[in-house]
């Protein structure tokens, strides 16, 4: 198939999923066209059958905000017409689902049919999507899509709860590529970071309030009082300054390493002993899955789609997002028992295998086939 993919090209989870999906589909013989305002962060190197089309809204003194939606719709129309795409898959509903609809209507006026698949990722439904400034547009975009998927059952349920949805939503979880995420032997790297054999605790995110990185630091503070440990904080974002202040207050600056944004997350996970993700809202938690795939047990909050990713007491523990004491105890119960750490690491890999990319890509392919077939039937009926 010839498939267009629209996503945010940043380090966010939805962009990562969209990019990995495109790469995997291309390796199965599909032709993939990324349509976005910057080359996606994970789309590096040359890939046969992958094309990138840049959306460049023009600057004009009249605009305080350049109209990205119009520029994206125009680019979609152009790419669909010239590359003869079979469908466009948009990731993150805002504004992509409605822009997809707009492009579809423009193409219809030219006698071309374009099915749109929308994947809901999380904040496009929760924190951002249900805000009155976007909600009607989100609901319309979902209902007008030809196929809709959500990354967890919990996200599907919350979409149905908050909006009047007339479309079926198929749950297709995030996935992991074990060729990239696995426990490589990085002993030399580990020795460089922890020359005295300390445990390595890790967290990665966009350091937004919702991720509760402050609680990662508080839990780590409790851990480091009992066992020697270092905390690797990967990523960056609006909370960074507050987090540095908190580390100073707790007097743990020496043991907390802010690494900034990193491309080779798998190399850091490969030397980690524990991953902490105490988010207030998380539709799936791709970073937790990446940790599990690298045999790193996870301590997380028990909210959103996380219980679909982590099995409590098997490959990690889940507590309320503010239960610092509970998370600290759970972390220590794993780190202070070599046998438990070994067992949880093995279980982490078993759990991650449920989300193997090889299992999930065919589900997307099947979804596409059904959407294209259904659109053909509808089109026939209409003409």
- Tell me the window of 11-19, 321-329, 330-338, 353-361 that interacts with ligand GMT (CB under 6 A): 11-19
- Between residues 80 and 233, which has the closer beta carbon with respect to ligand GMT? 233
Q: Which of 3, 72, 151, 200 binds ligand GMT (CB under 6 A)?
A: 151
Using CB under 6 A as the binding rule, whether residue 344 contacts ligand GMT is answered as: no
Interactions with ligand GMT, residue window 193-232 (CB under 6 A):
206, 210
**Residue 153 contacts residue 125 (beta carbons within 8 Å):** no
Query: Smaller CB distance to ligand GMT: residue 301 or 375?
Result: 301
* CB contact at 8 A, 291 and 234: no
Cα separation, 77 vs 235, in Å, equals 35
Q: Name 48's Cβ contacts closer than 8 Å, sequence gap at least 6.
A: 26
CA torsion angle for 158, 18, 268, 255 (degrees, to 10)?
Answer: -50
Among 12-20, 295-303, 318-326, 366-374, the segment contacting ligand GMT (CB under 6 A): 12-20
Decide if residue 123 touches ligand GMT (CB under 6 A).
yes
Near ligand GMT in 276-305, by CB under 6 A: 281-286
Q: Own/partner pairs for 246-252, CB < 8 Å, 24+ apart?
A: 246/214, 246/217, 246/218, 247/217, 250/217, 250/218, 250/221, 252/217, 252/220, 252/221, 252/224
Q: Which is nearer to ligand GMT, 322 or 343 (CB)?
A: 322
The two beta strands, 2-6 and 274-277, are: unpaired
Q: How many residues bind ligand GMT (CB under 6 A)?
A: 19
Q: Which is nearer to ligand GMT, 202 or 286 (CB)?
A: 286
**Of 237 and 326, CB closest to ligand GMT:** 237
Q: Is 352 in the site for ligand GMT (CB under 6 A)?
A: no
* Both structure tokens of 221: 């503070």
Please give the Cα distance from 258 to 324 (Å, whole number): 21
Give the dihedral of Cα atoms 257, 42, 173, 322; nearest 10 deg: 20
Q: Which of 118, 130, 174, 301 binds ligand GMT (CB under 6 A)?
A: 174
Site residues (CB under 6 A) for ligand GMT?
Answer: 12-15, 17, 92, 121-123, 151, 174, 206, 210, 281-286
């Amino acid at each position: 198939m010839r498939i267009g993919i629209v996503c945010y090209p940043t380090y966010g989870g939805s962009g990562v999923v969209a990019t990995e999906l495109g790469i995997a589909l291309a390796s199965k013989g599909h032709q993939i066209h990324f349509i976005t305002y910057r080359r996606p962060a994970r789309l590096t190197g040359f890939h046969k059958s992958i094309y990138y089309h840049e959306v460049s809204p023009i600057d004009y003194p009249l605009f305080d905000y350049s109209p990205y939606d119009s520029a994206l719709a125009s680019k979609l129309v152009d790419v669909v017409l010239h590359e003869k795409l079979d469908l466009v898959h948009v990731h993150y509903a805002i504004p992509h689902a409605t822009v997809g609809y707009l492009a579809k209507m423009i193409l219809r006026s030219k006698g071309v049919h374009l099915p749109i698949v929308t994947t809901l990722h999380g904040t496009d439904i929760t924190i951002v999507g249900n805000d009155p400034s976007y909600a009607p547009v989100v609901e319309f975009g979902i209902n007008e899509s030809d196929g809709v998927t959500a990354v967890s059952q919990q996200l599907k349920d919350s979409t149905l709860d908050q909006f009047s949805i007339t479309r079926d939503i198929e749950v297709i979880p995030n996935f992991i590529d074990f060729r990239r995420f696995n426990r490589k032997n990085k002993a030399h790297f580990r020795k460089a970071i922890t020359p005295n054999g300390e445990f390595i605790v890790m967290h990665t995110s966009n350091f937004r309030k919702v991720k509760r990185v402050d609680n990662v630091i508080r839990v780590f503070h409790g851990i480091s009082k009992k066992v020697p440990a270092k905390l690797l904080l990967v990523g960056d974002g609006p909370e960074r300054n507050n987090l540095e202040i908190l580390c100073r207050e707790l007097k743990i600056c020496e043991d907390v390493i802010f690494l900034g944004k990193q491309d080779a997350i798998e190399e850091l996970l490969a030397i980690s002993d524990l991953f902490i993700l105490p988010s207030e809202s998380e539709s799936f938690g791709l970073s937790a899955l990446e940790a599990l795939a690298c045999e790193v047990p996870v301590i997380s909050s028990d909210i959103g789609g996380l219980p679909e990713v982590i099995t409590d007491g098997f490959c990690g523990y889940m507590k309320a997002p503010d239960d610092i004491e509970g998370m600290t105890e759970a972390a220590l119960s794993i780190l202070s028992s070599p046998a438990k750490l070994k067992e949880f690491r093995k279980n982490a890999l078993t759990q991650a295998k449920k989300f193997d990319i090889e299992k999930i890509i065919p589900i997307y392919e099947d979804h596409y086939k059904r959407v294209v077939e259904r659109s053909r039937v509808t089109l026939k009926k209409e003409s």
